[in-house]
Amino acid sequence: MPQVDVNYLAVIVAAVLQMVLGFLWYGPLFGKMWMGFMKITPSKVSQQVMVRTYVWTAVMSLITAYVLSLLVDYMGAKTAGAGLAAGFWPWLGFVVPVTAASLLYENRPFGLWVLNASYQLVSLALMGALLAAWA
């Protein structure tokens, strides 16, 4: 296995970036649209559930940032553009097929899939750009 260099500070910042983007994406930008697709109201969301959700989301963001940093290093990506590509290809090859299959089996609205998949694309691309530029 090739030797990889992980910049742990960049991983943490990338994870925070993903969390901030998620807050904006599912909050002021597209929150009402997302709640409409999910058929939920703000009153249905309890504080306790949100705390647990944010903690687990932070853990998942750290894992995503760490694994993406490995990919960025394996690819030799040293520029923001190369980092964007490092985020795009896993999105296209893994996120799109897996989430599209879920869309079909769960019978969810297509618009919900577009909203979620778009978030994943922007998130992975920005994280990849940050991790590559910081390398």
Per-residue confidence (pLDDT) for residue 4, from 0 to 100: 82
Q: What is the pLDDT along the chain (135 residues), one digit of tens a residue?
A: 678 889 999 999 999 999 999 999 999 999 999 999 998 887 777 666 778 889 999 999 999 999 999 999 999 999 999 999 999 999 999 999 999 998 889 989 999 999 999 999 999 999 999 999 997
pLDDT value at position 132? 97
Can you give the pLDDT at residue 50? 79
Question: Is the separation of the CB atoms in 72 and 78 below 8 Å?
Answer: no
* H/E stretch holding 80: helix 80-90
Count of other CB atoms within 10 angstroms of residue 123: 23
Every domain of the chain and the residues it spans: 8-134
